[in-house]
């Protein structure tokens, strides 16, 4: 299974170093220092599992970047956590209203940072996306993004399980036997067709 990837948008190299040191054993951590560099990177690379954003970047407020990320179909469901020295209640609330999933203030501890990342990814693992297709695993619902709209697919329980098995194994070829074992119980007979 490919290692999960985290992006940090932060111009303070000490903070970037702390994040990388805290997460290096479990994640590939990439970093950029500006909003412009982040937008350029995300035009070519969208396979990040989580994004950290500083509020005070050299070329603007991280709130604007968070809004841009939420507008990108391929990244709209990726968890975003603000890392900021702005620590008032109003700052935190504006960050969450801008689309962030969490807001951490500096200074922060490496154990708390890792715990928050793991908690966010646990929640995220119950929602899966591939391109315009989104699954709500807990609700057994599938959606296709169509511009600003989400069109729900009408799937049987087994069709949903097949789709889930395929999305859990993106980039892999699944044999018929593997699909059968993931979707149907051992006691269920399924003919060769």
pLDDT at residue number 114? 93
Under the banding of pLDDT at 50, 70 and 90, the label for residue 65 is very high
Under the banding of pLDDT at 50, 70 and 90, the label for residue 138 is low
CB atoms within 10 A of CB 19: 23
Strand runs labelled E in the chain: 4-9, 27-32, 50-53, 56-57, 60-61, 80-84, 102-105, 127-130, 133-136, 141-146, 149-153
Mean confidence (pLDDT) of the chain: 86
pLDDT at residue number 1? 43
69-116 pLDDT, tens digit per residue, is 988 877 877 899 999 999 999 999 999 999 999 999 999 999 999 999
pLDDT at residue number 56? 96
Under the banding of pLDDT at 50, 70 and 90, the label for residue 133 is confident
What average pLDDT score do residues 135-147 get? Answer: 80
178-192 pLDDT, tens digit per residue, is 777 777 755 556 665
20-30 pLDDT, tens digit per residue, is 999 988 899 99
Distances in Å between the alpha carbon of 138 and those of 75, 123, 168, 192?
A: 21, 10, 14, 30
Bigger pLDDT: 131 or 36? 36
pLDDT at residue number 172? 77
58-65 own/partner pairs: CB under 8 Å, 24+ apart:
58/11, 58/33, 58/34, 59/34, 59/35, 60/35, 62/9, 62/35, 62/95, 63/94, 63/95, 63/98, 64/35, 65/9, 65/35, 65/38, 65/39
Evaluated on CA atoms 12, 93, 38, 6, the torsion sign reads positive
Under the banding of pLDDT at 50, 70 and 90, the label for residue 126 is low
């Amino acid at each position: 299974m490919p290692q999960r990837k985290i992006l940090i948008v932060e111009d303070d190299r000490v903070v970037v170093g702390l994040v990388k040191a805290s997460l290096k054993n479990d994640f590939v951590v990439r970093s950029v220092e500006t909003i412009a560099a982040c937008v350029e990177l995300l035009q070519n690379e969208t396979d990040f599992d989580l994004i950290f954003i500083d509020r005070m970047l050299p070329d603007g407020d991280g709130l604007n970047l968070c809004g841009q990320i939420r507008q990108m179909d391929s990244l709209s469901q990726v968890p975003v956590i603000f890392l900021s020295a702005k620590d008032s209640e109003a700052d935190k609330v504006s960050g969450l209203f801008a689309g962030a999933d969490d807001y951490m203030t500096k200074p922060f501890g490496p154990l708390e940072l890792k715990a928050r990342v793991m908690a966010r990814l646990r929640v995220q693992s119950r929602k899966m996306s591939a391109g315009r297709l989104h699954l709500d695993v807990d609700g057994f619902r599938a959606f296709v993004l169509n511009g600003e709209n989400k069109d729900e697919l009408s799937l049987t329980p087994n069709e949903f399980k097949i789709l889930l098995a395929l999305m859990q194994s993106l980039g892999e070829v699944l044999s018929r036997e593997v699909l059968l074992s993931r979707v149907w119980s051992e006691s269920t007979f399924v003919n060769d067709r």
